[in-house]
Structures are given as structure tokens and as C-alpha cells.
A and B are shown apart, each in its own frame.
Chain A
Amino acid sequence: MKKLVSLLLALTFVLSLTTGALAADTREHITFWYAHTGDEAKVFEDAIATYNASQDKVFVEGVSTTDTQKLIVAMSGDSAPDVISASNQQMIQYVANGLLDVAQDYAEKDGFALDIFSEKSVEASSVDGRLVGLPIEAYSIQMFYNKDLLEAAGYTEPPKTVEEMYKMAVAVTKLDAEGKIDVLGYPLFPYASARQELIYAFGGRWWDENSNLTPQNEGVLASLNMNVKYRQLYGMEAVDAFVSTANTNRYTEQDMFFAGKQLFRLDGSWLPTMMQNYGSTVNYGITFVPGTEANPDLRGSSRYETTCICMPSMGQHKDASWDFTKWMATEGARIENLGTGNLPALKALYEDEEILAKPGFAEFIEALKLEKGVQYPVMNDFNEYVSLINTALDEVYAGVKTPEQAMADLADQCSGLN
């Protein structure tokens, strides 16, 4: 037995030696953490390789990490990455906790003009009027609809109001013999859109311009009530089963929308690129998120988020990091936007032919021009608020509480946040 133990130990030891050391290199090494994975990560690696080949002073090592906890932990330690990509809402929280340098300081010192980025993206990526990170991509959400399903139900045009949308959803929703949902009409998946765009369409807001929290907003309640009405029509459990599976196979080849099992889908500009890559044959259209009959002006409302390249304050190689940050937000951004199907933040790219040729981009850029993006609030406890919202929504969806009750409770719970 002892022999076997020592054999085992020897084996693990040999394996442990296989982790080789890095060869010596005169270039300044920096690490760049980005939050994209899979095929999108390959695009980032391409961009990084292009940068590394373009000059001989800095060498960037790219790391794909989606775990935000890890990022926070890393940023607060001495092994912080030098450059990271972060969504503007994460960025706001990091700044509030003193984890990031302000990019505008570097830009001013360096004479780097910030007006090459769209005003909206600069606004979204700023805290207290200072640009924290350089925006590399923007995203907003629009409505995708399955043309064939809609036509089969006798409609030729996508809905302009939520009332129309509801009618069409009910007309198209299909149950199988066991009462399970085969085709989902109302856009209850993805969760994130149900919480945001499906609320904004009704004029609902989770916060106002002054970052006050407004969970009991009329629009929020109206949206949730319609959501519950649809759920009750087909049975909460049937809807949940569909949504659960939709979550299991989201953005894979079998994604419910790609497979023609979802009528409406509130999603981002990356969706057409994915569908193209998976060879989905669904005949789809893209239109604005609807408004309400009472207020048609709400049409086209969506979150407006940016992903920014920013520099953690604990990072070491500031000059090299800034050089890469600049490059990534300009030349790198083009590579990134083309590869991932995210919308540009650089103004010049709005006219770039290759960019405009991406499927769906024309529609999304059109929507961006409406300027109806909803910005995130500036608050320390944003993550906590989102978590509370999610829990309250779960309760509404499950029928445990009425929307009114749940939102009143939520208002109560979030009173201590700042």
C-alpha cells in the first residue's frame, strides 16, 4: 500500500512540474481581463494578438473571466489585472468602491480626444461627469420577432404597442397535448429583458434620473400585471418549465428563438450574428421595443449599456496599460465590434461599411439614434438592488405575491440602500 501511495505522490508531483515557467522577455507584460467567453473570447484574443504584433514595447496577456466576484477580489489585491473590460454598470460600482483609475485623467494628460466616442456612450460611461473607462462597445435591446409565426396567426406587421403585442402573443402561443408550452408568445425570456425592456415599454422605471429607487412606479406595476395575466392564462408551471429550458439552452444552436419556438424576443445586436453562425433558418425581423397605447412615444425604450476598457487603480504598469487601453478602444474596437456583433461606441464606425453590413446592425443603429436609452443609476449598492428586484420578481412570477404587494415590500427593503 505504501508503494501505491508513493506512486500516487510521484505521479502528482511529475504532473505538477508540467506547469512550465514563462520565457524571459524584454517587453513590458500587462494583463487584460475581459468578460467575454467562447467565440467572443476568440475575437478578443485576435485583437490582443494584433496589438502585440503592432509594436514591440508592450506585451498583453488576455484572460477571459466572467466571474465578477473574482474580478473584484483580484482588483483589490496586489495581483490586480492592469486593464479590464467592464460594463458601465459594473464600472460605476467599482468607482464607488475606489477600485478604478479615471481614464479622463490619462486622456487629458495625453491629449487624447474623447469626442471620437458617441455622446451617449461617453455619458453612460461617466461618473460625476468624468469618463471612467473608454467605451469599446454599446448595447441596447430591441425586439426580434418570428415572421412566420406572426403571419400564421394572421398578422403582417409587428406590434407597436404592448397591448397589440399581448394579443399577438396569445394568438401564437401553442400548447402540446400535455399542456406544455410549445411556442411561447410573450417575451418572458431572457430574464434580464423581462426585468428591463418589458418594464420600460410600459414607462416603468426602477430608478429615476436622480438615482432614487422607484419600484412602485405605475409602469412597473402595469407591466407586471400583464406578465402575470399571461402566466395565469397558460399556467405558471407551464410557463416556468418553458423559461427554465430556454435558460438551459440559451444562445446555443437549440436556443428557443433560433429553433422557432419563441415569437418575440427582446435581445441584443449579437443575436443575428449568433443565428448566422448556427445556421438558424428562422425568418425573423427586428423592430423597436413597443410602447403603450396611451403613450406611443415610449416605443424604442431600452437599456443603454457600454462595455469599457478601464484600468484598476491597483495595477502596476500605468503607461503601458494606458497605451493598450487607447488602442483597444479605437483600432481594437473595430475588430471587436465586427467579430462579436456588438454595436460600436466610436462615431467613425457608424459609417463603416463593413460594420453596417453586419446582420441587424442597421436596425440597431437606427434605434440608438432615437436616444431612448435608459441609463443606470449611480449608486454603491446597485448589485444589491438588482438582487432584491430579482427576488421580488420571482415572487410575482410564482404568484406568491401580487405585483402591488411585492413592489411595496421591495420599496421597504431597498430603503436602506445608497
Chain B
Amino acid sequence: MSMKTKHEWTGYRVGQTVKRTLFYLLVVLLSIVFLSPFLVMITTSFKTNSDAFTLPVKLLPRQWVFENYPKAFETIPYFRYMGNTAFITFFSVLGQLLVTPMVAYSLSKIRWKGSKIISGLIMATMMIPISVTMIPLYRIYSKLHLVNTYIPLILPAFFGRAFYIIIYRQFFAGVPNSLMEAAWIDGANEAQRYIHIALPISKPALTTIGIYAFLDSWSDYLMPLIYITKSDRNTLSLGLQQYISEHTVDWSRLMAAATIFVLPVIVVFVIFQKNFVQGIATSGLKA
């Protein structure tokens, strides 16, 4: 009897160990799969072009070369484009940070007729395809001589974006009203309550929105594609596309350029990861 129990017990432990090993194996495998494009990008950027086109295909370079990086900087005015992209990103983030909390505050912390309607409309704008508004907006900007400036890329940020507002509203919804009401008794007006209480309280949400706006603006492609035609005003994403030119694609150099384009994004993500993950997690929970 006792033998059997002991046997079962070891069996259970062996089973657990096997399960555990299998689980880790799965995690490692999936991690490799999800990382492989990055690995490919980085290792190819250290290959010569002829190495990249030699069979059998190997992940690591047969011979490590670093020349693709200086060449990549040479082929497109990388720092200029990075400056352009940073300029656009800076003002877009600024705009979103100013407006998003305000609108979200109005919708969740001020009780007024119309907040329901506005909320509904905000949700509705999320389903308007860009293609529908693209042509009329393009015509307006072109009539105002604003094509080839950064205005069309930055201006919308100062009027809020549905997705961000919804995340922010979600955050405010979780803040107890009693906090706000305490300040009301002290005779503060709405603006004071907003600045002194709502904003400081919602710092985590502010960070999340900031990162979102940063990432969206940094990698935006369609808007610059439509509005920026002068190559010295290109953003990085457009500049990268220049690599795939009509004649030649130098793949290893392309991968070097892609790597230095992606790097700032990864750095920002790693720094703010915690906020970001929390922000997204709460945003999607309620419809």
C-alpha cells in the first residue's frame, strides 16, 4: 500500500517535471519564432550582400562586416530624416497630451447632457476609414498650400484621437468620484479640479497615451506618403522605402537601415514597458 503511494507520488513528480520542461520548450520555441525577424534583420545587416545571397542560407554572417551601417547613413540623410520624424513626433505627442485628458475628463467626470452623445460619436469615428477622409482633406490642405509642410501630420493631434480618449476615459472611470467631490467642497472650480486633481491622479494614463502617440507618430507611413513629397522633408519611414528603388535593392544595407530605424522604438518600449502594458490591458477590457 505504502509502496504504491510512493510510486504514485514519484510518478506525479516526474509528470510535473516533464510538463514543466515541455512548457519551457514551448516558450523558448515561440520566443524564437517571434524574435526571428529581428534576428534576421540584425544578422543580415552584418553580412555582405553576396553572403546574403549564398546557399545554404545561414543565420550568422560567414564574415562579419560593419560597412553596411556607414553606407546606410550615406544613402539616405538618416539624421535629417530622424530630425524630421522627431519634429513631427514631438508636436503630435504634445497635442495628444494636452487634449486627450481634457476630453476624457469631460466625458467621465463632468455630468452633463451630451456626454453620452459625444462618447458615442467618439466610438463611431473609430470606424471611419482613412480612405474616406483622405481625399477631401488632401484637397483642403493643398488649397491652403500646406502640402509639404508638417501641419497636416501634426494638426489632427491637437484635436484628440478616439482611441486615446477611450483609454483615458477608462482610466478616469476607475477613479472614485469622492476624490473629486472633496475638492468641490473646498470651492474649487472645474478647471482647478482638473489641473490640481484629475491630471496628477492620471499620470499613468498620461504616460500610456504619450507612448502610444510617440509610437504611432514615429512609424506613421500613410500620412507622410500623401503629404510629404520633398525628399528633404521625408520622415524615416518614407526614407526607408527609398531603399526599395526601381533598380536595385541592396538587402544587407536595407537591413542595416531598418535596424537603426527600429532601435529608438525598442529603447522607448523597454523603458516604458510597464506603463504601456498596463495601459493596453485596461483599455481593451470594456467595450
Contact = CB atoms under 8 A, between A and B. Distances in A.
A64 interface: yes
B127 interface: no
B175 interface: no
A315 to B, nearest CB: 14
A249 B226 contact: no
Contact of A248 (B89, B229, B242, B249): B249
B90 A16 contact: yes
B106 interface: no
A137 B245 CA distance: 20
A13 B207 contact: no
A2 B207 CA distance: 7
Interface in B201-245: 203-204, 206-207, 210, 214, 225-226, 229-232, 241-242, 245
* Size bracket of the B interface: 35 or more
Contact of A16 (B87, B210, B249): B87
Contacts, number: 118
A78 B230 CA distance: 12
Interface stretch (A66-74, A290-298, A331-339, A360-368): A66-74
Residue from A17, A18, A63, A71 whose CB has the most chain B CB atoms within 10 Å: A18
Nearest to A40: B247
Given A1-B207, A19-B80, A63 B230 contact: yes
Contacts of A40: 247
Nearest to A65: B231
Given A15-B86, A79-B148, A251 B207 contact: no
Contacts of B241: 67
Contacts of A400: none
B234 to A, nearest CB: 10
B259 interface: no
10 contacts: A4-B207, A8-B268, A11-B86, A13-B86, A73-B229, A74-B229, A76-B142, A77-B147, A252-B53, A253-B49
Interface of B: 49-50, 53, 75, 79-80, 82-84, 86-87, 89-90, 93-94, 142, 145, 147-148, 203-204, 206-207, 210, 214, 225-226, 229-232, 241-242, 245-251, 268, 271-272, 275
Interface of A: 1-2, 4-5, 8-9, 11-13, 15-19, 31, 35-38, 40, 63-67, 69-71, 73-74, 76-79, 248-254
Given A1-B204, A9-B93, A38-B75, 18 more contacts: A1-B272, A2-B203, A9-B94, A12-B86, A19-B83, A37-B242, A37-B245, A38-B250, A66-B245, A74-B229, A76-B142, A78-B142, A79-B147, A79-B229, A249-B251, A251-B248, A254-B49, A254-B50
